[in-house]
Amino acid sequence: MEFTEWIRGRTDEQLRALVSARPELITPVPAHLEGLASRAGSPSAVARVLDRLDRFTLAVVETLAVQDGPVSKGRLHELIRAALADQAAPTEADAAAPAGADPAALAGSDPEPALSAALGRLGELALVYGTDDALDLGPGVRKVLDDPAGLGPWAADAFRHHPPEQLDEMADDIAPGTQGSGKERLAAALARPAALVESVSAEARGALDQLAWGPPTGRVPNARREVRVASARSPIEELLARGLLAAVGEESVTLPREVGLWLRGGRVHRGLLAVPPPLEGATRDKDLADRTAAGQAFSFVRSVEELCERWSVEPPGVLRTGGLGVRDLKRTAAELDLPEWVAALVIEVAHAAGLIAAGGGVDGEWLPTSGYDLWRVRATADRWVALATTWLHMDRVPGLVGDRSAGARQERAGGAMPTSGEAGATIKRSDERDKALNALHTDLRRASAPGVRAATLGVLAAAPGLAPERDSVLERLAWEQPRRRGPLRERLTEFALREAEQVGVTGLGALSAHGRELIEGGDPAGVLAPLLPEPVDHVLLQADLTAVAPGPLTSELNRWMTLTADVESKGGATVYRFSEGSIRRALDAGHGGEELVSMLTRHSATPVPQALSYLVTDVARRHGRIRVGTASAYIRCDDPALLDQITADRRSTALRLRRLAPTVIASRSSRAALVDSLRAMGYAPVAESLDGDVIISQLDSRRAEGPAPVRTLSSPNGLDPEVAAAAVRALRAGDAAHLARREPVETPSGQVPRGPATATISALQEAIKQGVRVWIGYLDSQGNATSRILEPARMEGGYLTAYDETRAAVHRFALHRITGVAGV
């Protein structure tokens, strides 16, 4: 059965399943089913779908690939059974078994259920087609599979570049007296290689055994040397002379497939698992894991909020090459009281969620966006869902911040994961100095990151209540997607495990209930909300100028406390310390002294200590007595004695002060530098505008200009069912039109019709009216007369539109080029 006809014979439901599982086949939608079949066999499409197969299903594909043509399901069953001989195969009841269960405990002797399930999936993906008596791979699959199951090429392909005379000599040595070309005789002899293998030395047999289970290639100096059986001196020469190894390069050899299969005893695989390997790890109490994850989720939300608030006040600069400076990252980590890698994670997620962006002046600063103000007023559970969803789908890898190894920069172009044969491949940076990767830099993007996170969380979801070990997760992922392997994938998996714990998707290493809802598209906010700590709206003021927050503060109180006091320590309770600088910071933001005392009284569960009240009153009394404007800058004060004190201070020498009036001093320094210098000297000046008004420093309202950036996030979701159904309808309609297309007809013999132009026009108008075919003579662009059989449709603007049966297509014909018309 032809593959195109097999595709055409699929039901609409089966076609919808095909395009849903392989959406790239309808991007754009082909004109007909023949085009769909052609696209399904393209190398890129085949490679993409093979990358999604698990180890057992891929083994079925490889088993079919090493067969020389279609095979029956019974024969395939025998080959798979042989591969499973060392491992117990699953039974029909295994589908309901827990993912962490031991395969040996699920043992069954019949691989039929697993094989049927695999063939069903392969048929759905159009990788395998045909009947149970003749199963075969779809077009292009064999070409994409390099060395399937670790087996080399067939002998006919392995020796295709050898000179014919060399092949004749090899055939004469190992198959004397046979007929045919050297390649044919050699291939026939290698199809039954028992005698040839037994005739070599033990050392040569050992070399064959090393290549038997793959990889089938090796490096040999001067591999293309000409050697005969009689002149062979080394084990390698013994194998080369007998065709048991084929030279495929100047220094590389391969094991022919026929020889490899014989060495394996006819088996294609060994130790094959029909079920995923069991997960190993510690069992966690479900409620405890959920509460732990909820606490982490709350902390992560607060860390993002604190980051944005701090960057509102003191935004770090944007590096000339993009990204965040190393010093700024260290400072931010210290301010948030987090390890640097966690701070990088917080920054990257906030950036990917559109909460921070580059803005500010010419050089640029990292500032919160207007989107942060909208995010901040939402419920804590909803805020976490926005951050966790962003983390799950973003293509940025915070774990690579500070990395210098070239291996972690694979897939920079295109994002395809390396296969097992490409594990050492790297893509070098354009920066040959190999600098460390900065946070918020474009080099942190990896197209495969969302898929790895989703696959890793899928493994955790398969074992509820279990905190699997790292190696166990890697082993499971290697079984689920064996073609997607390599050093970078392992690192991305490790990053996903530790970041999931930090974000609050997992607790104590086990997937939480709200984390499961997140990856399954449920309602994580509804599950998380009851587990979150209830915010408190009060603090405990103490006599040592500190305040203790007995729990997480409400968003507004937290922002006010962060502005008015400095965080001294975090833990079960947060300790804030009031100081002259922190009080002045609140006064600079526009709060008055009485307002500060009133806020403290309203939000304190204890009386306001006298020392704190005196501190606020004293700082407020002195705040703003001195005013600094622009001269370059000037100092204005209604108390001349205070100005006398400033001019007499030795520390003011660098300011180059000059008394202009009893209440005014001019300075050559800038206004900002003058304010900072006076504050360092112990005074409390405020900045003044040109109109004499006090400039209020809105320290908590700086935002990146323009709308919040739109983040394009990868999504693992499949094709929308309505889109798939519409695509199938279009394919069916296009295929029906394609099949109804008429084949070109031969032109009539004889003289090309000729006649007057008026008679030609009248005849064509009559043919259009009657709907009949006509025979015309037509002059092409070179002036050559041709014959056409037409079905005229309409005539306008000096052109005739008609279906040309001699070309099997619709064309427009210039009327002045039609030489005449005759009936058919």
3-state SS record for 317-348: EECCCCCECHHHHHHHHHHHCCCHHHHHHHHH
Residues 130 and 250 reside in one and the same domain: no
SS3 of 611-640: the string is HHHHHHHHHHHHCCCCEEECCCEEEECCCH
Q: 701 pLDDT band (50/70/90 cuts)? A: low
Residues 573 and 652 reside in one and the same domain: no
Return the ∠ at Cα 790 (arms to 788 and 795), rounded to 5°: 115
For residue 675 the two structure tokens come to 């304010």
Residue 319 vs residues 204, 363, 366, 406: alpha-carbon distances, Å: 61, 8, 10, 22
Q: Is the pLDDT of residue 714 over 60?
A: no
Tell me the C-alpha distance between 7 and 33, whole Å: 7
How large is the average pLDDT for residues 731-743? 77
Q: Which residue has the tokens 């917080």?
A: 346
In a domain, 335, yes or no: yes
Domain closes at, from 89, 113, 146? 146
Q: Is the pLDDT of residue 95 over 70?
A: no
Q: Are the CB atoms for 697 and 361 separated by under 8 Å?
A: no
Q: Per the omega criterion (within 30 degrees of 0), is the bond before 550 cis?
A: no
Q: What is the residue type of 230?
A: A
Q: Is the pLDDT of residue 712 over 50?
A: no
What is the side-by-side strand order in the sheet with 252-254? Answer: 217-219, 252-254, 246-247
Q: Are the CB atoms for 446 and 395 separated by under 8 Å?
A: yes
Q: What does pLDDT average to over the chain? A: 83
402-411, 645-654, 764-773 — most confident range: 764-773
Confidence at residue 399, expressed as pLDDT on a 0 to 100 scale: 93
In sequence order, what DSSP letters do the residues of 137-154 get, joined into one string?
Answer: EPTTHHHH-SSGGG----
Residues 511 and 568 reside in one and the same domain: no
Q: Is the pLDDT of residue 474 over 80?
A: yes
In a domain, 557, yes or no: yes
Q: pLDDT (tens digit, 9 = 90+) per residue, 578-600?
A: 998 888 888 887 788 888 888 88
Determine the longest span between alpha carbons in the chain, in angstroms. 124
Confidence at residue 710, expressed as pLDDT on a 0 to 100 scale: 45
Q: Is the pLDDT of residue 84 over 90?
A: no
User: Which of 43-52, 279-288, 359-368 has the weakest average pLDDT?
Assistant: 359-368
In sequence order, what DSSP letters do the residues of 717-768 get, joined into one string?
Answer: ----HHHHHHHHHHHHHHHHHHHTPPPPPPPPPSSPP---HHHHHHHHHHHH
Residues 388 and 427 reside in one and the same domain: yes
Residues 394 and 495 reside in one and the same domain: yes
In a domain, 717, yes or no: no
Q: Are the CB atoms for 476 and 277 separated by under 8 Å?
A: yes
Confidence at residue 702, expressed as pLDDT on a 0 to 100 scale: 62
In a domain, 274, yes or no: no
Domain closes at, from 618, 642, 657? 618
Q: 101 pLDDT band (50/70/90 cuts)? A: very low
Q: Environment class of residue 641 by beta-carbon count within 10 Å: exposed (0-12), middle (13-18) or buried (19+)?
A: exposed
Tell me the C-alpha distance between 548 and 555, whole Å: 16
Q: Is the pLDDT of residue 671 over 60?
A: yes
Confidence at residue 343, expressed as pLDDT on a 0 to 100 scale: 95
Q: What predicted TM-score, i.e. pTM, was given to this entire model?
A: 0.71
For residue 232 the two structure tokens come to 């062979």
Tell me the C-alpha distance between 640 and 451, whole Å: 71
How large is the average pLDDT for residues 266-283? 89
How large is the average pLDDT for residues 553-562? 80
Residues 299 and 258 reside in one and the same domain: no
Q: Are the CB atoms for 638 and 663 separated by under 8 Å?
A: yes
Q: Is the pLDDT of residue 110 over 90?
A: no
Q: Are the CB atoms for 36 and 7 separated by under 8 Å?
A: yes
In a domain, 368, yes or no: yes
For residue 555 the two structure tokens come to 């968003």
Element at 14 (helix H, strand E): helix 12-21
Q: 39 pLDDT band (50/70/90 cuts)? A: very high
Tell me the C-alpha distance between 245 and 498, whole Å: 47
Cβ of 479: how many Cβ atoms within 10 Å? 17
Residues 236 and 333 reside in one and the same domain: no
Q: Are the CB atoms for 270 and 494 separated by under 8 Å?
A: no
Confidence at residue 770, expressed as pLDDT on a 0 to 100 scale: 87
- DSSP 8-state class, residue 654: G
Confidence at residue 741, expressed as pLDDT on a 0 to 100 scale: 65
For the chain, what is the domain count?
A: 6
How large is the average pLDDT for residues 170-186? 87
In a domain, 410, yes or no: yes
Q: Is the pLDDT of residue 96 over 50?
A: no
Tell me the C-alpha distance between 47 and 408, whole Å: 23
Q: 99 pLDDT band (50/70/90 cuts)? A: very low
> Which spans in 285-444 are helix H?
286-313, 326-336, 340-352, 370-376, 380-393
Give me the domain span that covers residue 767.
757-823
For residue 801 the two structure tokens come to 């539109």
User: Which of 87-96, 494-503, 605-614 has the weakest average pLDDT?
Assistant: 87-96
What is the side-by-side strand order in the sheet with 686-687? Answer: 658-661, 664-667, 633-636, 627-629, 686-687
What sign does the CA torsion over 480, 484, 487, 488 have?
Answer: negative
Return the ∠ at Cα 9 (arms to 31 and 717), rounded to 5°: 65
- pLDDT above 70 as % of the chain: 88
Residues 302 and 185 reside in one and the same domain: no
How large is the average pLDDT for residues 501-528? 93
In a domain, 83, yes or no: yes
Q: pLDDT (tens digit, 9 = 90+) per residue, 408-456?
A: 444 443 343 333 333 333 323 334 456 788 999 888 999 889 999 999 9
Within 13 Å, how many C-alpha atoms sit on residue 782's CB side?
A: 3
Pairing of strands 774-779, 510-511: unpaired
Residue 149 vs residues 64, 132, 268: alpha-carbon distances, Å: 10, 23, 7
User: Which of 14-28, 480-494, 628-642, 804-818 has the weakest average pLDDT?
Assistant: 628-642
Tell me the C-alpha distance between 585 and 577, whole Å: 13
What is the side-by-side strand order in the sheet with 574-577? Answer: 540-541, 546-549, 574-577, 566-569
Tell me the C-alpha distance between 302 and 308, whole Å: 10
Confidence at residue 716, expressed as pLDDT on a 0 to 100 scale: 45
- DSSP 8-state class, residue 412: T
What sign does the CA torsion over 83, 86, 91, 93 have?
Answer: negative
In a domain, 724, yes or no: no
Return the ∠ at Cα 526 (arms to 522 and 531), rounded to 5°: 125
Domain closes at, from 103, 119, 146? 146
Domain CATH code at residue 793: 2.30.30.100
CA-CA-CA-CA torsion for 267, 268, 273, 274, nearest 10 degrees?
A: -100
Residues 171 and 234 reside in one and the same domain: yes
Confidence at residue 417, expressed as pLDDT on a 0 to 100 scale: 35
Tell me the C-alpha distance between 75 and 600, whole Å: 83
End-to-end CA distance of the chain: 40
Confidence at residue 407, expressed as pLDDT on a 0 to 100 scale: 41
Tell me the C-alpha distance between 815 and 709, whole Å: 58
Residues 130 and 75 reside in one and the same domain: yes
The three-state secondary structure class of 235 is helix
How large is the average pLDDT for residues 790-813? 86
Residues 472 and 366 reside in one and the same domain: yes
Q: Are the CB atoms for 342 and 502 separated by under 8 Å?
A: yes
Tell me the C-alpha distance between 759 and 762, whole Å: 5
Domain CATH code at residue 8: 1.10.10.10
Q: What is the residue type of 288?
A: L
Residue 521 falls in which region: left (phi positive, over 0), alpha (psi -120 to 50) or beta: left
Residues 339 and 371 reside in one and the same domain: yes
Tell me the C-alpha distance between 85 and 63, whole Å: 15
Give the residue, 342 or 419, on which the prediction is more confident. 342
Residue spans of beta strands (DSSP E) within 761-817: 774-779, 785-796, 799-804, 809-814
> Which spans in 553-624 are helix H?
555-564, 580-588, 593-603, 610-622
Q: Are the CB atoms for 452 and 489 separated by under 8 Å?
A: yes
